[in-house]
């Protein structure tokens, strides 16, 4: 082997023409290698501590299962952006997932998808015509400490998952006895649901109390007056057939003695009640505004609606949640004894702190707390006579999922999108809305010692070695003269 390299050295170094030819070959190989690397579309190497720009196993598993071709049209981003980098990683997991960077001169796609200058967006389109729209502002949020949270992977993974769905879920919102409609008050929620391939419609039970046969989820949000007996009976029949529901109710400061017996008949199907009492918090960790009724709720760590919003550090043996922000939330009372006789189970998914108190709106008094939390949101599952399961998610606040603004942030729904969207997915049995949240605090990245050594070798050692080889060649050739 030594003799072989010696012959190569003598053959190349003794002749200037051959030396130049060798250098030209090396340069050509370098250029070809770079061009080849660009054609295989490799993602960038992620050296961040928490792998902010690397797909989670969850996303990889979803991508691998996709059996439908889909293309993401990316507008307003560069080839070096994290969006493109993630799309390359999805493509590496499954070649059916592709992307196209739409540039300003691509008039056809620009007009087809309605892209506008200065408004970056991503539109996914499947072969069956399904589309998913992701706005640039959808790619980030804020945690309880107001640090920026990167949601890019979450949005792309959910778009991929939803583009693969073959049928839409039909959601009907009850209107006529509520201040909230899909066009006013719940417009943002309606838009979010449609982006996740729910088919949205309304039922005005005042004019027609029947529930359509194609109703997959009935949303009864923010009643301002009681149901009629017929309306309540129709909803109860819907539940007994295995129908699923989203139920929410706001605190009533006007009708302080609020009494909705027919609405309570519906709640009795799930063995819950919602008294007209508002939660008050006191500590800086639980109050989210200037008033003690604007609170940060705790979320359950072990339920499919909320567990991906909950972060647990096994090393520190502690956890914290991405806390929803609620305004004037009431409480939910669970009748566990009654549940055992109605084949129902309920899990609190959103709670107050153990030090919270409640104010009785009718009596204007503060009630003593026994040292436990109050339930602000609950997921209920009930087995009906047919053998089917009726699912419901009940919230003691509606305004917190509406278009209302809080402290200049519009809509307030942005704080709570994960929990309400996951609730719709839970009730309709569609599986989880994947909550992949990565911290992107503006802190300087510090490499590990090993990574720093590699960087130093690349920056300093490689050029020195090349220069040394050049000097050795020059000296050797001088000796040969």
Residue 314 is predicted with a pLDDT of: 45
Q: 350 and 299 in contact (C-beta within 8 Å)?
A: yes
Residue pointed to by tokens 């196209």? 100
Q: 147 and 122 in contact (C-beta within 8 Å)?
A: no
Which residues share a beta bridge with 394? Answer: 247, 378
Under the banding of pLDDT at 50, 70 and 90, the label for residue 170 is very high
DSSP 355-410: T-EEEETTTTEEEPP-SSPPEEEEEEEEE-TTS-EEEEEEES-SGGGSS--BTTBS
Average pLDDT over residues 7-12: 55
- pLDDT of 90 above 80: yes
Residue 442 is predicted with a pLDDT of: 41
Of 228, 171, 209, 180, nearest to 393 by C-alpha is 171
| CATH hierarchy code of domain 171-429 | 3.40.50
- Any idea what the Cα angle at residue 477 is, between residues 471 and 479, rounded to 5°? 105
Residue 47 is predicted with a pLDDT of: 44
Residue 281 is predicted with a pLDDT of: 93
Q: 217 and 427 in contact (C-beta within 8 Å)?
A: yes
| pLDDT tens digits for range 395-426 | 999 999 999 887 777 778 777 888 998 899 89
Which residues share a beta bridge with 183? Answer: none
pLDDT higher at 147 or 425: 425
C-alpha distances out from residue 274 to 255, 270, 282, 346, Å: 14, 12, 22, 14
Q: 77 and 101 in contact (C-beta within 8 Å)?
A: yes
Average pLDDT over residues 286-303: 87
The backbone torsions φ and ψ at residue 394, rounded to the nearest 5 degrees and listed phi first, read -115, 130
pLDDT higher at 450 or 304: 304
User: Helix (H, G, I), strand (E, B), or coil: what is residue 373?
Assistant: coil
In the chain, what is the straight-line distance between the N-terminal and C-terminal CA atoms, in Å?
27
User: Average model confidence (pLDDT) for the chain?
Assistant: 82
| pLDDT tens digits for range 203-228 | 988 888 889 999 999 999 999 999 99
Q: Which fold has domain 50-165+432-446?
A: Glutaredoxin (3.40.30)
Q: How many CB atoms lie within 10 A of CB 156?
A: 28
| pLDDT tens digits for range 121-130 | 999 999 988 8
| Percent with pLDDT over 90 in the chain | 49
| pLDDT tens digits for range 311-354 | 544 444 445 556 889 999 999 999 988 998 888 999 999 999 99
| pLDDT tens digits for range 101-118 | 999 999 999 999 999 999
Paired tokens of 361: 């709106």
* Highest mean pLDDT, choosing among 10-19, 237-246, 307-316: 237-246
Residue 316 is predicted with a pLDDT of: 43
Residue 202 is predicted with a pLDDT of: 95
Please state, in angstroms and rounded to a whole number, the distance separating the CA atoms of residues 241 and 235: 10
């Amino acid at each position: 082997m030594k003799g072989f390299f010696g012959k190569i050295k003598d053959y190349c170094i003794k002749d200037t023409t051959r030396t130049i030819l060798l250098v030209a070959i090396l340069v050509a190989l370098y250029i070809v290698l770079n061009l080849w690397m660009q054609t295989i579309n490799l993602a960038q190497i992620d050296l961040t501590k928490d792998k902010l720009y690397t797909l989670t196993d969850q996303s990889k598993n979803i991508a691998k299962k996709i059996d439908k071709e889909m293309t993401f049209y990316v507008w307003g981003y560069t080839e070096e952006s994290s969006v493109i980098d993630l799309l390359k990683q999805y493509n590496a997991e499954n070649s059916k997932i592709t992307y196209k960077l739409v540039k300003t001169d691509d008039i056809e796609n620009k007009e087809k998808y309605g892209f506008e200058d200065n408004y970056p967006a991503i539109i996914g389109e499947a072969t069956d015509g399904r589309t998913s729209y992701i706005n640039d502002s959808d790619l980030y949020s804020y945690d309880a400490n107001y640090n920026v949270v990167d949601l890019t992977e979450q949005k792309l993974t959910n778009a991929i998952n939803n583009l693969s769905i073959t049928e839409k879920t039909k959601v009907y919102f009850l209107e006529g006895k509520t201040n909230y409609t899909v066009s006013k008050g719940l417009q943002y929620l309606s838009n979010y649901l449609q982006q996740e391939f729910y088919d949205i419609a309304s039922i005005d039970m005042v004019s027609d109390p029947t529930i359509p046969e194609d109703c997959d989820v009935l949303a009864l949000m923010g009643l301002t007056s009681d149901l009629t007996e017929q309306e309540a009976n129709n909803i109860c029949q819907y539940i007994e057939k295995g129908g699923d529901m989203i139920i929410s109710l706001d605190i009533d400061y006007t009708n302080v003695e609020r009494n909705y017996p027919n609405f309570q008949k519906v709640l009795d199907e799930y063995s819950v009640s919602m008294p007209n009492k508002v939660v008050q918090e006191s500590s800086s960790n639980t109050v989210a505004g200037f008033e003690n009724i604007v609170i940060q709720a705790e979320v359950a760590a072990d339920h499919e609606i909320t567990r991906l919003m909950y972060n647990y550090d096994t090393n520190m043996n502690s956890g914290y949640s991405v806390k929803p922000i609620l305004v004037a939330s009431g409480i939910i009372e669970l009748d566990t004894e009654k549940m055992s006789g109605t084949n129902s189970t309920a899990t609190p998914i959103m709670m107050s702190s153990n030090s919270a108190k409640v104010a009785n709106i009718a009596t204007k008094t503060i009630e003593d707390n026994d040292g436990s939390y109050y339930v602000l949101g609950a997921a209920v599952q009930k087995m009906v006579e047919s053998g089917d399961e009726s699912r419901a998610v009940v919230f003691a606040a509606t305004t917190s999922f509406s278009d209302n603004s809080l402290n200049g942030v519009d809509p307030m729904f942005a704080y709570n999108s994960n929990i309400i969207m996951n609730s719709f997915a839970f009730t309709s049995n569609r599986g989880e809305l994947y909550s992949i949240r990565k911290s992107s605090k503006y802190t300087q990245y510090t490499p590990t010692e090993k990574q720093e050594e590699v960087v130093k070798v690349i920056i300093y050692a490689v050029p020195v070695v090349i220069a040394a080889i050049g000097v050795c060649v020059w000296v050797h050739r001088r000796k040969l003269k």
